Amino acid sequence: MATFTNQATLTYNNTQTLSNVTTGQILEQLTVVKTALQQTYSAGERITYTVSLINSGTSDDQNLTVTDDLGAFTPTGMTTEVYPLTYDTGSVLVHVNGAVQTTAQVTAEEPLTITGITVPAGGNVLISYAAQVNGSAPLVSGSTIENTVTVSGDALAEPITATETVSVSEAPYLTVEKTLSPLTVTANQDITYTFLISNYGNAPAEADANVSISDVLAPVLTGLTATYNGTLWTSGTEYTYSETTGIFTSDPGAITVPAATYTTLPDGTVSTTPGTATLVLEGTVG
C-alpha cells in the first residue's frame, strides 16, 4: 500500500505560511501471496513455490516483472550474498485464470526473474516453480530459508512483495560403513568387522531413536566380542549373537550418534562434519 503526502504554501504581503501536511493512501489493485508447498527442508531437497497474483481492479496489470531473491543472505563474517536455493531450470509455469500463459519468460536465474506477466482485470495469475536446496543453505538446528518475491511494473505505484519462510528439518540422518580386517583369512584365524555409523543430520540420534545394527556374519565367528566406542558390550544386554546362525543384532537404543557440526567456508558453502559412533566385532573364523 503506497502513501502520499502534500503541503500547501500561503503567500501574502511578502510572507509565507505553510499548511498542515495531509497524508493519503493509494490502494493497490494487485495483491501477491507466496507459498512453499512444504514447510521444512533438508540438504539437496527440491522445494516447489507458488506465487498468486490477484487483480481486483477494472484494468489489466500488464508487463509485470516477478523477481524471487531465492533466499539470498550474507553469512556471518562474509561481505557478499549467497543464494541457498538454485532455480530448477525450466520449472516455471504461469497460468492466467487457469490457462497457460506463454508470453512470460525467465530472463535471469539468480535471482530468479520472470518478465512479461499480465494479470487481467478481475483475474488472477498463478506462477509455480521449483528450487533446489544447495550447498550454501544453512543446516544447523533452528535455521531457516526466507525468500521474498517482488512484483514490479509501470502499472504499480510501487513494487509489492511477499515472503515465505521454510525451516530446516531437525532430525538425524545416518549412514553406516562396514570394513573387514584382514581381507584374507584362514580357519581358526581372528577377524575384525568395524561399523562406522555417521550422522549428517542436525539432531542427535538418541536412545529413543532405537538405532540398531543387524548382520549375518558369514563365516560364523566364535568367541565374538563387541566393542562400542571403545567400551566392551555385554552379550544379552547390548546385543545378541548366535554362533549357530551367525546373526548379530544390537539392542535397539544401545547405539547413539551425536549430531553433525557445520562450518561456513570462505566461498559461502557449508561444510558438514558428521557425528560418529564405532562398533567393532571381533571373533575367530570357525
The grid coordinates of residue 66 equal: 516477478
Q: Which residue has the cell 516477478?
A: 66
CA 229 to chain centre: 32
The predicted structure's pLDDT at residue 2? 53
pTM of the model: 0.80
How would residue 4 be classed by pLDDT, with cut points 50, 70 and 90? low
Name residues whose C-beta falls within 8 Å of residue 5's C-beta, 6 or more positions apart in sequence. 21, 22, 23, 24
Sheet holding 61-68, edge to edge: 40-41, 160-168, 144-152, 61-68, 112-119, 105-109
How far is it, in rounded angstroms, from Cα 164 to Cα 39? 9
- For the segment 26-38, the average pLDDT, to the nearest whole number, is 85
Top-confidence residue, 196 or 102: 196
How far is it, in rounded angstroms, from Cα 52 to Cα 269? 32
Burial class (CB in 10 A: 0-12, 13-18, 19+), 257: buried
- Reply yes or no on whether the pLDDT at 43 is more than 80: yes
Amino acid at 5: T
How would residue 280 be classed by pLDDT, with cut points 50, 70 and 90? very high
How far is it, in rounded angstroms, from Cα 157 to Cα 175? 54
Secondary structure letter of residue 208 according to DSSP: G
- For the segment 206-219, the average pLDDT, to the nearest whole number, is 96
All domains of the chain in start order, with CATH? 28-168 (2.60.40.740), 174-285 (2.60.40)
Secondary structure letter of residue 259 according to DSSP: P
Length of the chain: 286
Q: pLDDT tens-digit profile of 90-149?
A: 999 999 999 998 889 999 999 999 999 999 999 999 999 999 999 999 999 999 999 999
How would residue 197 be classed by pLDDT, with cut points 50, 70 and 90? very high
Q: First and final CA of the chain: distance in angstroms? A: 81
Q: Which residue has the cell 495469475?
A: 125
Judge whether 154 and 99 are in contact, CB under 8 Å.
no
- For the segment 22-30, the average pLDDT, to the nearest whole number, is 68
- For the segment 55-75, the average pLDDT, to the nearest whole number, is 95
Q: pLDDT tens-digit profile of 256-267?
A: 999 999 999 999
Respond yes or no on whether the N-terminal peptide bond of residue 252 is cis (omega within 30° of 0): no
- Reply yes or no on whether the pLDDT at 198 is more than 90: yes
Judge whether 65 and 115 are in contact, CB under 8 Å.
yes
Top-confidence residue, 1 or 254: 254
How would residue 184 be classed by pLDDT, with cut points 50, 70 and 90? confident
Top-confidence residue, 12 or 1: 12
Q: Of all residues in the chain, what percent carry a pLDDT higher than 90?
A: 83
